[in-house]
Structure 1
Amino acid sequence: MLQQYKTILVAVDGSSEAELAFKKAVSVTQRNQAKLIIAHVIDTRAFQTVSSFDGMLAEQATEMAKQTLQDYVDYAKAQECHDVTTVIEYGTPKPIIAKQIPQEHDVDLIMLGATGLNAVERLFIGSVSEYVIRNATCDVLVVRTDLENKIVKNKD
């Protein structure tokens, strides 16, 4: 019997890698007749570098995230995915994507874009995808190709 996923989480951050993961997640959701959860985590550590926390920055980040997520929902629904939920969380992306959202929504597959970090960046900060692979309690699929399974060249 084939594995059938019921709830698929795709994490998006505005990167081209996340876009590939999202499109593949829509395809997997269709094949499995599953629920799709599209999540964006606003990394609050970025605001800690500002000397006095500016509420406007967080508000702008939230508004941008809402618009991006709505665009993703529109795409998913146009592809006949009708059970689509969006989640915006605030904090450190790694544990939120690996543990918090999957537990709250009974996720059985997490889909992520491959890291855009170079070797030195991975050494010092680690990639979200690497952390999720090591810590999630459900299946994790790291997407490296487009819908035709062709490798997309980085613009670096």
Structure 2
Amino acid sequence: MLDFKKILLPVDMSDFSLQVAEEAVNFAEKVGAQEIIILSVVNVVNYSQSYINAIDFDQMNSTIQRHFSKELDKLTESLKGKKIPVRSLILEGNPYAEIVDYAEKNDVDLIIIGSHGYTGIDRFLLGSVAERVVRKAKCPVLTVRMKG
């Protein structure tokens, strides 16, 4: 029998990932999960100041962090009426690597992640965080493909 007590739900705060969040919570309730951790990973590219003097990366990073934090708080609050405790956090770095690392270090039983289902050149150009998570994670990964 599957025992998914701690579920990790990575989101990028897109409308797509918010739809996936709702589906993930419904799934978690059905399997009797005890906790959902919503994880958002901020990926701010750090360029050398010798290349770009006009951009204050610390300020840009701070602004992005505040935006994600506010949106994540709204999402977490909207899910608090559900039967399962929900908490959230923001990490900084490469999204797939941070997701996989967090899951491993925190004994996550299942990762639920959205996938746009890109193929061919779209997948090559856009990359796929979900695909990399599926390949690298040591726990089961459930990918959700939403129509949209």
Q: Which TM-score band (shorter chain)?
A: 0.7 to 0.9
Is 1:43 aligned with 2:46?
Answer: no
Number of positions where the alignment pairs a residue of Structure 1 with one of Structure 2: 143
Alignment-derived partner of residue 130 in structure 2: 129
Considering only aligned residues, what root-mean-square deviation do their CA atoms show, in Å? 2.1
**Residue ranges of structure 2 left out of the alignment (5+ in a row):** none
Provide the TM-score with structure 1 as the length reference: 0.81
Amino acid at match of 1:78: G
Alignment-derived partner of residue 22 in structure 1: 21
Shift of 1:44: 2.0
Secondary structure of 1:36's partner?
A: strand
Q: 1:6-32, CA deviations, whole angstroms, 9 ceiling, x for partnerless residues?
A: 110111112222112211121122221
Percent identity, aligned pairs only, is: 27
CA distance in 2 between partners of 1:17 and 1:116 (Å)? 12
Shift of 1:4: 2.2
Q: 1:85-120, CA deviations, whole angstroms, 9 ceiling, x for partnerless residues?
A: 2121111111111x2110222111111111375632
Shift of 1:54: 2.4
Provide the TM-score with structure 2 as the length reference: 0.85
Alignment-derived partner of residue 104 in structure 1: 105
CA distance in 2 between partners of 1:120 and 1:48 (Å)? 27
Alignment CA distance shift 1:129-1:33 (3 Å): closer
Secondary structure of 2:102's partner?
A: helix
CA distance in 1 between partners of 2:33 and 2:57 (Å)? 42
